[in-house]
Copies of this chain bind each other. A is one copy, B any other.
Amino acid sequence: MTHHGSKSLRQAVLRANQLIPKAGLAALTWGNVSGVDREAGLYVIKPSGVAYEDLTEDLLVPVDLATGAVLAGDLRPSVDSETHRAFYLRWPSIGGVTHTHSTNAVAFAQAALDIPVLGTTHADTFNGPVPVARQLTVEECARDYELNTGIAIIETIGDDEAALAMPVALAANHGPFTWAASAEKSTEYAIVCEAVAEMALKTLALNPAASTPRHLQERHFKRKHGPDAYYGNAR
């Protein structure tokens, strides 16, 4: 067992992190992606406060999944590391986590509103509204804040199966977290979350009573997910 994470894991996590500025999901050093190696009992995550253009595989921080301790190097992990860890511990099927400060998703988080399902762009990927988690209490903010951020989201989402079914939530007054089988897939969900948030914000400006029939939502979700899916190509 290595304490550093495998080269392939580091490559995937680096690529996923680099998608954040490329897709315009955060300014400066904001946002972070991690990927887990469950056999090795660790995940690797973006170091705190490092610019995306300076990021390399070697700068990614390996963190002990059981304890949260840094396993190698002298860099601190992302300040949100404990939120990632809470997700990995609660949801054994997930392999990667992404957090961004993308503008439109943050607007919903700050407005304390779910992102409603207003069309097929949303329903193609997310099978229901993107939920906003509850606010943390004074005590939850004072101690183990990042862990508690994860716990509040876990309360909103539910168990492992539920997490696979709804791979996104908004931390209240904060921003979106997404998770998936791999780091890169979790970042793709962050891209979708921002796109549907912008579409929803503009739709509600045009028509505050907008909605989508449930049968259309289901049809689109099932085009891409489940045993009858017929979207995409295995390449």
Contact = CB atoms under 8 A, between A and B. Distances in A.
A57 interface: no
Contacts of A111: 203, 206-207, 210
The residue among A27, A106, A188, A223 with the most chain B CB atoms within 10 A of its own CB is A106
A174 interface: yes
Nearest to A198: B103
A230 to B, nearest CB: 6
Contacts of A235: 50, 75
A138 B219 CA distance: 10
Nearest to A102: B199
B103 A202 contact: yes
A16 to B, nearest CB: 14
Interface string A201-220: 11111110010110110110
Interface stretch (A35-43, A84-92, A112-120, A156-164): A112-120
B141 A202 contact: no
Nearest to A171: B120
Interface residues of A, number: 62
B233 A49 contact: yes
A231 B195 CA distance: 29
A79 interface: yes
Given A110-B203, A119-B174, A203-B111, A103 B232 contact: no
A130 interface: no
A215 B112 CA distance: 16
B103 A110 contact: no
A30 B206 contact: no
Contacts of A47: 233
A119 B108 contact: no
A76 interface: yes
A192 B119 contact: no
A121 B99 CA distance: 12
A136 interface: yes
A2 to B, nearest CB: 22
A76 B106 contact: no
Contact of A50 (B50, B103, B233): B233
Interchain residue pairs A-B with the least CB separation, the first 5: A49-B232, A111-B207, A107-B202, A111-B206, A110-B203
